[in-house]
Structure 1
Amino acid sequence: MAIPFHEPGCWAWSDALQRQHLSLCWALECDIDPMILRARQLRRQGALPQASCVEEELLPLF
């Protein structure tokens, strides 16, 4: 179910509807670094320590 962001009253959406809309937006992302996508996938799978390790690799070195 696609929900137009400009829909009047979108600020009053329920939490569930906001999460659904955010998930739909994330599904459209195609130019994100593969490591970021991997970290998200690990978090969704409940592998939090592994996701944290991948995220640490993304931190700047300075």
Structure 2
Amino acid sequence: MDSFNAGAPRHNSGTPAQRRRLLELCWQHECDIDPMILRARQLRHQGAWPQAVCLEQELLPLF
């Protein structure tokens, strides 16, 4: 296990709804992530794939 995940609990069980809720709770704590990245994640979660891809293209480096 790498140092990034060393303290992270493993949650392999539970229903899909429980796992989704856990993921949403984790996202709330990711305040250091760029809001545009979080928005792209939210769009994907909502099934808005074309909008998410478009937003991700805006986040790509220009060089």
Q: Which TM-score applies when normalising by structure 2? A: 0.62
2:22 matches 1:38: no
Aligned structure 1 segments of 4 or more residues deviating by more than 2 angstroms: 13-17, 19-22, 24-27
> Relative contact order (alpha carbons < 8 A, sep ≥ 6): 1 or 2 greater?
1
Quick one: which amino acid aligns to residue 62 of structure 2? L
Larger-Rg structure: 1
Higher helix share: 1
What is aligned with 1:55? 56
- % identical aligned pairs: 66
CA deviation after TM superposition for structure 1 residue 34, in Å? 1.1
What SS does the aligned partner of 2:43 have? helix
Looking at structure 2, the residues matched to 60 and 15 of structure 1 have their Cα atoms a distance apart, in angstroms, of 38
RMSD: 2.8
Shift, 1:31, TM fit: 1.7
Q: In structure 1, list runs of 5 or more residues that go unmatched.
A: none
Q: Which runs of 5+ in 2 are unaligned?
A: 1-7
